[in-house]
């Protein structure tokens, strides 16, 4: 007795989550920082920091 095969349907591709609005899928943002003793002044340089909106994943949170 031959077993009949059930036809398999096509799977749809999973939707990609939207990119993070703050870091644009990079996972990092550049921020200015302050230097100096008492009179903190803003530096012209920038430093990379982890994006706090998506925690470095680059994908927007879906609730």
- Measure the N-to-C terminal CA separation of the chain; round to a whole number of Å: 50
| pLDDT tens per residue across span 24-47 | 888 899 988 899 988 889 888 898
**DSSP category for residue 15:** P
- Domain locations in the chain as residue ranges: 17-35+42-63
Q: How many CA atoms lie within 13 A of 50 on its CB side?
A: 5
- pTM of this structure: 0.54
Q: What pLDDT, on a 0 to 100 scale, did the predictor assign at position 1?
A: 62
Going by pLDDT thresholds of 50, 70 and 90, the confidence category of residue 22 is confident
């Amino acid at each position: 007795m031959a077993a009949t095969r059930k036809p398999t349907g096509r799977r749809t591709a999973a939707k990609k989550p939207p990119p993070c609005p703050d870091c644009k899928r990079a996972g990092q943002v550049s921020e200015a920082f302050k230097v100096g003793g008492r009179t903190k002044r803003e530096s012209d340089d920038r430093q990379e920091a982890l994006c706090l909106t998506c925690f470095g994943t680059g994908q927007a949170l879906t609730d």
